[in-house]
Amino acid sequence: MHNQLPTPTQRPRRTRRTATLRRMVRETTLSAANFIAPLFIAEGSGILRPISSMPGHAQRSVDQLDAEIDELLELGIPAVLLFGIPLHKDSTGSGAWDSSGPVPSAIRAIKARAPELIVVADVCMCEYTDHGHCGVLTSGEPATITVDNDPTLELLGRAAVAYAEAGADIIAPSAMMDGQIAAIRSALDAMGYTNMLIMSYAAKFASAFYGPFREAAESTPQFGDRRSYQMDPANGREALHEVALDVAEGADMLMVKPAGAYLDIIRAVTERYDLPLAAYQVSGEYAMIKAAAQNGWIDERRAALESLIAIRRAGAGMIITYYAKEAARWLREENS
């Protein structure tokens, strides 16, 4: 005799029945207000140079920023993250603190046009050094040369002060030098910028997903790699140790980079610390979705928004993403 299966008493599908019900019970929200849009500022004028590995993005000179800034504001995106591409590089990356360099010039231009837009200035040497590493190098045999941590701290502080003087709202050090938050905080405070926010790239991993960024920022190392100062992707507990150090040194905001392959780190940081947390959906994450969509393998809109909601669900309140504009448009359409 056939045994009749018991009728389910719990039916989670009930709340999934219609789009309106699904919106009503949605646990995680995503909006343009969560996004920070990266911009690549090229020194010079009349420059609008597409980045081949990042469709839809370009290097821009300051005089080509107006339309982009207006579009970001219209879409409700509250912040930008600036990277500079100088005309000339040297061994110490001195262009990083040049008051007339691409980032300070862009900060002033953006603040003149859109004072309400939050400007985050990345602080690192890699775009400015002729060797492509994130600080000054040690001397010695080629096989033993690496980034010299402590002398680099002073240079990071000088760059941070230059960006503060230009009008940045947030300083975001990404060099992964030991003690960089304390050094930058000291440099800023000494010059009277006691209210300047520091968003720490607290857990920045030596990731394969940075590839397209190296083209965009022209920052590929001329030798070796960055694994002696960026984190081993295998280490989770070490990431929390790095975060703890930056919190103790005075970071106001934290960041995990990359985002997609490190959702567990985002969640762990969220559970342990109450500081605002950003996650960086990096160039390779963006490029993979773009490439798969261009080949017809995935639905770009659904995949991109799914990736972003996952980062929010893991605990990040702010998402640095190259999808900022497109995602803001898609979300506006869904909510209209």
Question: What is the Cα–Cα distance from 71 to 59, expressed in whole angstroms?
Answer: 16
- Cβ burial, residue 77 (10 Å; 0-12/13-18/19+): buried
Domain ranges for the chain, please list them.
30-335
What phi-psi label fits residue 54: left (phi over 0), alpha (psi between -120 and 50 degrees) or beta? Answer: beta
Give the alpha-carbon dihedral of 11, 12, 13, 16, to 10 degrees: 150
Active site residue 257: yes
- pLDDT of 161 reads 98
Active site residue 89: no
- For the chain, the first-to-last Cα distance in angstroms comes to 55
- pLDDT band at residue 1 under the 50/70/90 scheme: low
- Write out the E strands in 133-243: 170-173, 197-204
Q: What is the pLDDT of residues 207-238, one digit of tens each?
A: 999 988 877 877 777 776 778 889 999 999 99
- Report the CATH fold assignment for 30-335: TIM Barrel (3.20.20)
Q: What is the pLDDT of residues 40-79, one digit of tens each?
A: 999 999 999 999 999 999 999 999 999 999 999 999 999 9
| Whole-structure pTM value | 0.94
Beta bridge partners of 46: none
What is residue 138's DSSP assignment?
Answer: P
- Percent of the chain scoring above 90 in pLDDT: 83
- pLDDT of 204 reads 96
Q: What is the pLDDT of residues 155-171, one digit of tens each?
A: 999 999 999 999 999 99
Q: What is the pLDDT of residues 178-201, one digit of tens each?
A: 999 999 999 999 999 999 999 999
Q: What is the mean pLDDT of residues 116-145?
A: 87
Token couple for 36: 């920070």
Given 89, 111, 204, 325, which residue is catalytic? 204
What is residue 147's DSSP assignment?
Answer: B
**What value does the mean pLDDT of the chain take?**
94
Q: What is the pLDDT of residues 304-335, one digit of tens each?
A: 999 999 999 999 999 999 999 999 999 999 98
- pLDDT of 2 reads 62
- pLDDT of 228 reads 82
Quickly list H helices, 49-131. 66-74, 102-113
- pLDDT of 335 reads 85
- pLDDT of 92 reads 87
Token couple for 101: 């360099």
What is residue 5's DSSP assignment?
Answer: P
Q: How many CA atoms lie within 13 A of 30 on its CB side?
A: 25
Contact between residue 163 and residue 103 where contact means Cβ atoms under 8 Å apart? yes
Token couple for 273: 């610390």
Q: Phi and psi of 118, rounded to 5°?
A: -80, 130
Q: What is the pLDDT of residues 241-298, one digit of tens each?
A: 999 999 999 999 999 999 999 999 999 999 999 999 999 999 999 999 999 999 999 9
Given 89, 111, 257, 325, which residue is catalytic? 257
- pLDDT band at residue 4 under the 50/70/90 scheme: confident
- Cβ burial, residue 125 (10 Å; 0-12/13-18/19+): buried
State the Cα angle at 231 between 233 and 177, rounded to 5°: 170
